Amino acid sequence: MPTRCDQTAPWPLLAAHFDAQGRSLDMRQAFAQDAQRFAHFSQQAPHVFADLSKNLWGRETEALLLDLARACGVEQHRDAMLAGEAINTTENRAVLHTLLRRPIGVALPGDVPETAQRLADVHHTQGAMLQYAEQVRNDAAITDVVNIGIGGSDLGPHMAVRALEEFRTPGKRFHFVSNVDGHELHHVLKGLRPESTLFLVASKTFTTAETMTNARSALAWFDAQGGRDVARHFAALTTNVEAAAALGITTTFGFWDWVGGRYSLWSAIGLPIAIAIGAQGFRDFLAGAHAMDEHFRTAPLAQNLPVRLGLLDVWYRNFHGFTSRCIAPYHAALGRYSAYLQQLEMESNGKRVAQGGSTLACVTSPVLWGEPGTNGQHAFFQMLHQGADVLPLEIVAVRQASHPLPGHQQKLLANALAQTQALMVGKTSDDGHRHFPGNRPSTLMLLDSLTPTSLGALIALQEHRVFVSGSLWGINSFDQWGVELGKVLAKDLEARLESGDVAGLDGSTAGLLARLRSVEGCGG
């Protein structure tokens, strides 16, 4: 179990350093004083180059943060995760999504027979899933693939299928239905025919209310439209094969409880990705992630990109007090990237209790939000440049375009660069409205091109960075108890909406429930 950062010796040293220098650091002066600042604070990790130099820290800050990582036992915690120890303590589970991207024939670090057996199971299941993906790709009669799933069973595959649209097989459309709002499924079904549709019901638990409701409605639609052969047109991606069979879905691809929902796109949950980009493309995706895993496992802390990012996150959240991070991918295909990262980071680290159960003395996950650039520039970047709050910006840019249109890429890249430059450099004016304070932080991640391999590496980088900040805070990044209460209350309220029973409800909920049931409705 990692040691909470606020209970280590470097913590008060960092606080003193923040008061003495950190709070007043001016990046423009820091660059003027240190010709090597860019070289020092940027690095090439597998498939991802990152520039961390336009951030509010210096070498001394980083050295203290590295001491903090050592004092918290981040390396030991990482090794425990990779070795398959049950570091998800509240659910007594191992956390082994890294095993899913371990290539065949690459020896495991350490000698853990149980992990070796798990790896053999992974490769066996992966083989069957990729074979099925190829079969679907070659099946010209299937024109539409509908993924029914929510949270980790939607966000990762949805983000990746969209990001890799240039690598997609022609002749297939992909749809993602997640919301229990029937509007979404109804709208998708309107354009489909049962004989040309494959439904993938994706749910780790196969109990999630939204997914079960949508799956039942899809099955009912299939039947009502005269669809035949459920085994051909429905497949379940789940650890709960029995529940899928009970629903009548017998084509199944399994995975294991040691794969967290928001880390599951590498498992059978990634089937839509494999159908979209093919077995080799999916293997490339896994290989990119594995390269980042190896970097995380072996690079010294000072040159370990996920570690440096996680340390910077803690520095910003706990010392600068920054409440959010804006995510702006400068590639239109990364349109679901911010939504994906929201679950990854906020469901992992949005907690205030340490692994041992004690209440933390410090704040944890920031709010993540954002939209692709350059669109964001014409919406919320005003606040980044001149707002009263300082909000760190994180850009992903891609050097090579994935389209042939002349003139666009230079403009796109120039804009990405201009934003980070403007945020830091600022612009002095006597007119307050036209004054840019500058010294505002940003990180730029650069991919050479957006491919299955580079996307895999980028996502693994983000996973490990969240692991690092979670370790420093001493929390369990792999459970999500905070989503449970709302689920229970929704079930109760669903019955009350039917019966009208408001006994025991608070005044507001009772009033709203009565209004929802009233014959006059809610208008006028």
Binding to ligand F6P by CB under 6 A, coded x per residue (else -) over 478-497, reads --x--x--------------
Binding status of residue 278 toward ligand F6P by CB under 6 A:
no
- Point out which span in 180-188, 204-212, 278-286, 432-440 binds ligand F6P (CB under 6 A): 204-212
Q: ∠417-418-421 over CA atoms, to 5°?
A: 90
Q: What is the DSSP letter of 371?
A: -
- Point out which span in 86-94, 203-211, 443-451, 455-463 binds ligand F6P (CB under 6 A): 203-211
487 labelled catalytic: yes
d(CA 407, CA 418): 17
Q: What is the closest distance, in whole angstroms, from the C-beta atom of residue 205 to ligand F6P in the complex? A: 3
Among 261, 281, 372, 441, binds ligand F6P (CB under 6 A): 261
Binding status of residue 157 toward ligand F6P by CB under 6 A:
no
- 345, 347, 394, 463: which is the annotated catalytic residue? 347
Binding status of residue 342 toward ligand F6P by CB under 6 A:
no
d(CA 338, CA 328): 8
| Interface with ligand F6P: number of residues (CB under 6 A) | 14
Residue placing its CB nearer to ligand F6P in the complex, 117 or 207: 207
Q: What is the DSSP letter of 482?
A: G
Residues in 346-365 that interact with ligand F6P by CB under 6 A? 347
Q: What is the closest distance, in whole angstroms, from the C-beta atom of residue 327 to ligand F6P in the complex? A: 19
Looking only at Cα atoms, what is the longest distance across the chain? 74
Residue 452 · residue 285 · CB < 8 Å: yes
Q: What is the closest distance, in whole angstroms, from the C-beta atom of residue 352 to ligand F6P in the complex? A: 18
433 labelled catalytic: no
Element (H, E) at 367: strand 367-369
Among 22, 58, 73, 151, binds ligand F6P (CB under 6 A): 151
The per-residue b/e assignment along 147-178, b for 16 or more CB within 10 angstroms, e otherwise, is: bbbbbbbbbbbbbbbbbbeebbeeebebbbbb
3-class DSSP state of 389: coil
Residue 345 · residue 470 · CB < 8 Å: no
d(CA 456, CA 282): 9
User: Which whole-number Å values give the CA distances from 465 to 214, 240, 383, in the listed order?
Assistant: 34, 30, 26
- 124, 403, 411, 487: which is the annotated catalytic residue? 487
d(CA 304, CA 461): 10
Tokens read off for 55: 């951030």
Binding status of residue 203 toward ligand F6P by CB under 6 A:
yes
Among 3, 153, 348, 471, binds ligand F6P (CB under 6 A): 153
Residue placing its CB nearer to ligand F6P in the complex, 59 or 216: 216
Q: What is the DSSP letter of 435?
A: -
Q: Give the interface with ligand F6P as residue ranges (CB under 6 A).
A: 150-153, 203-205, 208, 211, 261-262, 347, 480, 483
* Residues forming the active site: 347, 378, 487
